[in-house]
A = this chain, B = another copy of it.
Amino acid sequence: MKEKFPKTRAFVWTGKALKLLDQRLLPHKTVWRVCRTWQDVTRDIRDMVVRGAPAIGCTAAYGVVLAERKKMLPKAFEGLLKARPTAVNLRWALDRMRRVWEQGGNLEREAIAIEKEDREANRRMGQWGAELVGSNATLLTHCNTGSLATAGLGTAFGVLWTAFQQGKVKKVLATETRPYLQGARLTAWELKNERIPFELITDSMAAHFMKTESIDGVFVGADRIAANGDSANKIGTYSLAVLAAHHHIPFYIVAPMSTVDLSTPGGQDIPIEERSMDEVTTFRGQRLAPQGIKARHPAFDVTPAVLISAIITERGVARRPFVTSLHSAAARLSEAVPL
């Protein structure tokens, strides 16, 4: 029997070019962009044509393949690395490609391996995470962590999806995720496509529903997990973690080992990208706020380890103290054994 699997793809490597689904236009339009150079890939990562930490890692790897063909290495490593600062998967993928390049290895084969491994990691995370979900569960998620953010099922979304396939999900509450509306535009689209029952809420409603409805767990992704477990993720994640703790709701981070950065000791060491304030004050060219005002736009925040119930990677479910469990997971072969 063929395994059921979501059909959505964020990127497709054709052997000659990297096709990216333009996520800025979803869910209104389905437009594929074709990147033929590493500069195209860099620009599209920076401009959020493609986003989501694992997807950024995969697409950067293909960017390296394109750069090699135009003899633009090692320069392209630097350019790609600068595209976005917070998601460590970008650096992780580039480091891996650089090692293969330095050893004269096959870069295209390595990029394809990175993509394939991410897809398999998604599947495993989905299984580990779904074990934490009881029956008839209402689960809350933030931002987009599905097929649009990864090479496969997704991270947190993969857990929701797997638990739903197992018949355990009553409904999902999806936060719209201001300012970029990844929840309203992308997660709602994926949940709808997968026929998972869900309700879209504003970020500001999460606390209200934690109090007035029974929410069984919060599952979110991560852009960088420090050695001590502090986790950077989409702005609003830290807020949800504090609210979940207040309401005694388990709060789970779901991310592959490529998101774990043991060289970053703690959350204070993670660079937080500040994006344009226009992304807060406008929507598709229409202003939401008066002209000439100041807005803030940190794209990520850091959730301290103490607020995280567990970190789910493809190698199992890491519990506190994360400094031990994450090191142990990193040292282990990639077999799916519980930590």
Q: Say whether, besides A181-B288, A184-B281, A246-B246, A295 and B201 are in contact (CB < 8 Å).
A: yes
Bound CA span A207–B284, Å: 27
The smallest C-beta distance from A292 to any residue of chain B, in angstroms, reads: 7
Number of contact residues on A: which range applies? 35 or more
Contact with B along A188-211 (1 / 0, CB 8 A): 110110000011111111111101
A286 within 8 A of B: yes
Q: Which among A185, A238, A286 has the greatest number of chain B C-beta atoms within 10 A?
A: A238
Bound CA span A137–B290, Å: 24
Q: Say whether, besides A204-B235, A208-B298, A284 and B286 are in contact (CB < 8 Å).
A: yes
Bound CA span A198–B293, Å: 8
Cβ-defined contact, A301 with B192, below 8 A:
no
Cβ-defined contact, B239 with A200, below 8 A:
no
Cβ-defined contact, A288 with B185, below 8 A:
yes
In the complex, chain B residues whose CB is within 8 Å of the CB of A293: 188, 191-192, 198, 200
Bound CA span A178–B204, Å: 7
Bound CA span A175–B181, Å: 16
Bound CA span A289–B293, Å: 27
Bound CA span A245–B207, Å: 13
A residues 228-268 near B (Cβ < 8 Å) are 235-236, 238-239, 242-243, 245-246
In the complex, chain B residues whose CB is within 8 Å of the CB of A178: 176, 178, 202-204
Cβ-defined contact, B288 with A286, below 8 A:
no
Bound CA span A164–B232, Å: 35
Cβ-defined contact, B199 with A294, below 8 A:
yes
Cβ-defined contact, A288 with B206, below 8 A:
no
In the complex, chain B residues whose CB is within 8 Å of the CB of A246: 242, 245-246
The smallest C-beta distance from A330 to any residue of chain B, in angstroms, reads: 28
Q: Say whether, besides A200-B296, A284-B286, A239 and B301 are in contact (CB < 8 Å).
A: no
Choose from B179, B211, B243 the contact partner of A202 (Cβ within 8 Å): B179
Cβ-defined contact, A205 with B235, below 8 A:
yes
In the complex, chain B residues whose CB is within 8 Å of the CB of A74: none
A28 within 8 A of B: yes
Bound CA span A287–B28, Å: 8
A86 within 8 A of B: no
Choose from B235, B245, B287, B288 the contact partner of A176 (Cβ within 8 Å): B288
Bound CA span A241–B293, Å: 26
Cβ-defined contact, B202 with A235, below 8 A:
yes
Bound CA span A284–B204, Å: 20
A89 within 8 A of B: no
Contact with B along A277-318 (1 / 0, CB 8 A): 000110110111110111110100100000000000000000
In the complex, chain B residues whose CB is within 8 Å of the CB of A206: 239
Choose from B175, B189, B204 the contact partner of A290 (Cβ within 8 Å): B189
Q: Say whether, besides A198-B294, A294-B199, A238 and B208 are in contact (CB < 8 Å).
A: yes
